[in-house]
């Protein structure tokens, strides 16, 4: 198997596909579907029209994350991709919150397939495979969709290259993958997908975020939280942090660059030290796309979460790295 650098060079001008096994899918239907989700999620769902999409989170009353949601608004329903491990329980929990609303929530993870395509040539290759307009794909706003005969193709922002998700009935998945392969798309390994995601600073629920995470800690303010909409579950905590606390949280998710000579103990979960003080931990780790070492996501205490901060992983005398920015 080629190294990450070689894999990246292959798709830098081309494209590769991957099944989105880490995500499940919910179908929210009914005339009140938009209003129902708008009252629960952190972002402004009401501002989205058919063919558009957005990102948000479902929180506890204490402002902790239950799950993150990518929303795709269709003409008569909404498809939400959510953490795969939580899809069934989320569908049941959301269904229990329906009272007088004309809404329904169904776990359609098995019925709908979701295939990710990314690369410098992704618009042209996806257009060739699905008989779409490549210019329309290139110009598609994040989250927005182009219709297919039996599904849709949506623009995503999961990594450093142009990316799209194709959502189609599960029985069509094999044919779609065959079309993508014929059009010139390679297979994307999980390792490459992680490297693209980590390089872009995108946290993954269940890895870089969990049910103990306040979304502000993971850098989700700009992408996932509306500061102008009405009430949603957990809003009081978020507003208190933003307005009274100046947006300061106890820790922040950051991107870190590690030297090529980093020892084998550099791995997810490794403790991060600044001097002789423990200051955080690594959540995701991947080889650099240019083979120049490793890139990581990790949490650091607020006072240390700034670009240029030097850290050591594994022990005070472990692998040396430098913070390159805030994640989110």
Domain boundary among 156, 172, 198: 198
315 lies in some domain: yes
How far apart are alpha carbons 64 and 87 in whole angstroms?
A: 18
Domain boundary among 135, 163, 198: 198
227 lies in some domain: no
Q: What is the pLDDT of residues 275-294, one digit of tens each?
A: 989 999 999 999 999 998 99
Residues 6+ apart with CB under 8 A from 134: 123, 124, 126, 127, 128
Structure tokens at 141: 């706003």
How far apart are alpha carbons 268 and 124 in whole angstroms?
A: 36
Domain containing 187 equals 4-198
Q: Are residues 183 and 108 in the same domain?
A: yes
Residues 6+ apart with CB under 8 A from 213: 64, 65
Question: Rounded mean pLDDT of the chain?
Answer: 95
Q: Are residues 50 and 192 in the same domain?
A: yes
Q: Are residues 155 and 265 in the same domain?
A: no
What is the radius of gyration, based on Cα positions, of the chain? 20
241 lies in some domain: no
113 lies in some domain: yes
The model's pTM is: 0.94
Asked which of 128-142, 278-292, 312-326 is least confident by mean pLDDT, the reply is: 312-326
* Residue 261: CATH number of its domain: 2.40.30.110
Q: What is the pLDDT of residues 140-178, one digit of tens each?
A: 999 999 999 899 999 999 999 999 999 999 999 999 999
Parallel, antiparallel or unpaired: strands 65-73 and 310-313:
unpaired
Q: What is the pLDDT of residue 261?
A: 66
Distances (CA, A) of 210 to 16, 65, 328: 28, 6, 14
How many folded domains does the chain comprise? 2
Q: What is the pLDDT of residues 12-42, one digit of tens each?
A: 999 999 999 999 999 999 999 999 999 999 9
Q: What is the pLDDT of residue 248?
A: 85
| Segment holding 272, helix H or strand E | strand 271-274
Among 204, 112, 111, residue whose Cα is nearest residue 166? 112
224 lies in some domain: no
* Residues 252, 300 contacting (CB under 8 angstroms): yes
Q: Are residues 56 and 179 in the same domain?
A: yes
Q: 265 phi and psi, to 5 degrees?
A: -75, -5
Q: Are residues 93 and 155 in the same domain?
A: yes
């Amino acid at each position: 198997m080629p190294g990450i650098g070689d894999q990246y060079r292959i798709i830098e001008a081309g494209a590769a596909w991957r099944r989105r096994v880490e995500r499940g899918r919910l179908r929210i239907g009914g005339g009140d579907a938009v209003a129902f989700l708008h009252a629960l999620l952190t972002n402004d769902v009401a501002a989205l029209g058919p063919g558009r999409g957005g990102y948000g989170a479902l929180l506890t009353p204490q402002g902790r994350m239950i799950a993150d949601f990518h929303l795709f608004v269709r003409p008569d329903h909404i498809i939400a991709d959510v953490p795969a491990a939580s899809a069934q329980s989320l569908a049941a929990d959301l269904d229990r919150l329906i009272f007088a609303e004309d809404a329904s929530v169904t776990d359609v993870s098995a019925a709908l397939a979701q295939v990710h395509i990314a690369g410098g040539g992704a618009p042209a290759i996806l257009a060739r495979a699905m008989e779409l307009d490549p210019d329309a794909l290139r110009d598609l706003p994040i989250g927005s969709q182009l219709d297919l005969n039996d599904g849709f193709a949506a623009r995503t922002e999961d990594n450093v290259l142009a990316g799209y998700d194709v959502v189609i009935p599960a029985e069509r998945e094999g044919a779609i993958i065959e079309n993508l392969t014929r059009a010139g798309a390679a297979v994307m390994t999980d390792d490459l997908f992680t490297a693209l995601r980590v390089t872009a600073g995108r946290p993954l629920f269940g890895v870089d975020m969990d049910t103990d995470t306040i979304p502000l800690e993971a850098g989700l303010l700009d992408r996932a939280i509306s500061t102008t909409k009405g009430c949603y579950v957990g809003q009081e905590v978020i507003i208190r942090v933003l307005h009274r606390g100046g947006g300061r949280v106890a820790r922040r998710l950051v991107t870190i660059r590690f030297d090529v000579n980093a020892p084998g103990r550099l791995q997810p979960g490794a403790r991060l030290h600044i001097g002789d003080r423990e200051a955080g931990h690594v959540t995701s780790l991947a080889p650099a796309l240019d083979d120049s070492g490793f890139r990581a996501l990790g949490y650091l205490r607020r006072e240390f979460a700034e670009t240029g901060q030097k850290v050591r992983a594994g022990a005070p005398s472990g692998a040396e790295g430098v913070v390159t920015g805030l994640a989110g």
